[in-house]
């Protein structure tokens, strides 16, 4: 009765592991595409405001102090009040800058959503492993109880066998054939019981191996999650470096003038 339950739990856990691995791979590709398509790392004109030319530093400072909803308004009012040029070309550049900043916030929000989804999936996997561990513990307890009952039954059978043997030896009658027959049946029963105990021991060993395999798969998933985060951070850092270089070249061009 326990074997179908064990097979079903193993199949469900294996299927969930495969599904989680596929979802992690898909989400990793989505995050990679999102990083490569963020417009904040593309070439765009610089704008001068009251504190000098601004780029990533002023972007994150304004986001912390003002908030994502009012950042574009704060930058536009500051740059309009301190800008020395009122030409239509500079207004177009300011409008483009605000639009690109709003797109940056949208991409950052999407990336944060992906990170939260990955964290949620890891927590769900931990809960599944905990449930499987509890099931294995219950199966081990049931096996211990059944083994104790079988040991008691085997002890009783051995006592019966010894008593019958003493009786047969004491009587020394023509029941020698019957005694041999009964002895053979008892021995067969004991052998069958011992075989069942060995089968149960083998099943418990297999369950322990599967539990160790589940624990190893959990460690592999955590390692994959850490590697994914490290790769994402590395790509994000490289993209920031490229963006700073492009901003520096644009700054030098604006300083040199037309």
Is a pLDDT exceeding 50 seen at residue 253? yes
Q: How many C-beta atoms surround the C-beta of residue 34 within 10 A?
A: 15
More confident residue, 96 or 38: 96
What's the total number of domains in the chain? 1
DSSP string, 102-132: HHHHHHHHHHHHHHHHHHHHHHHHHHHHHHH
Cα 151 to Cα 137, 156, 157, 199, 245, distances in angstroms:
21, 9, 10, 15, 78
More confident residue, 58 or 19: 19
State which of 55-64, 88-97, 188-197 shows the largest mean pLDDT. 188-197
Which letter does DSSP use for residue 38 in this model? Answer: -
Which letter does DSSP use for residue 40 in this model? Answer: G
For the segment 141-166, what is each residue's pLDDT rounded down to a tens digit?
A: 888 888 889 888 888 888 888 888 88
Cα 125 to Cα 11, 23, 24, distances in angstroms:
15, 13, 12
CA 100 to chain centre: 34
pLDDT at residue number 95:
83
Is a pLDDT exceeding 50 seen at residue 215? yes
The residue segments making up the domain with residue 14 are 2-256
């Amino acid at each position: 009765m326990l074997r179908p339950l064990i097979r079903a739990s193993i199949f469900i856990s294996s299927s969930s592991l495969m599904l989680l691995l596929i979802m992690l791979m898909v989400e990793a590709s989505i995050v990679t595409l999102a990083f490569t398509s963020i417009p904040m790392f593309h070439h765009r004109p610089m704008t001068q405001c009251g504190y000098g030319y601004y780029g990533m530093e002023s972007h994150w400072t304004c986001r912390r102090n003002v908030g994502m909803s009012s950042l574009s308004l704060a930058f536009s009012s500051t740059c309009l009040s301190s800008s020395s040029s009122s030409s239509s070309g500079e207004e177009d550049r300011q409008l483009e800058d605000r639009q690109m900043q709003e797109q940056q916030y949208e991409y950052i929000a999407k990336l944060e959503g992906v990170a939260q989804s990955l964290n949620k999936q890891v927590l769900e996997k931990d809960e599944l492993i905990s449930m499987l561990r509890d099931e294995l513990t219950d199966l081990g307890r049931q096996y211990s109880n059944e083994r104790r009952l079988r040991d008691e039954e085997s002890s009783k059978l051995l006592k019966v066998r010894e008593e019958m043997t003493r009786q047969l030896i004491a009587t020394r009658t023509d029941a020698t054939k019957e005694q041999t027959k009964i002895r053979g049946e008892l021995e067969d029963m004991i052998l069958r019981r011992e075989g069942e105990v060995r089968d149960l021991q083998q099943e418990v060993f297999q369950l322990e191996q599967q539990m160790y395999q589940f624990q190893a798969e959990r460690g592999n998933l955590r390692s994959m999650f850490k590697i994914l985060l490290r790769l994402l951070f590395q790509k994000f850092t490289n993209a920031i470096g490229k963006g700073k270089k492009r901003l520096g070249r644009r700054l030098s061009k604006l300083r040199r003038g037309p």
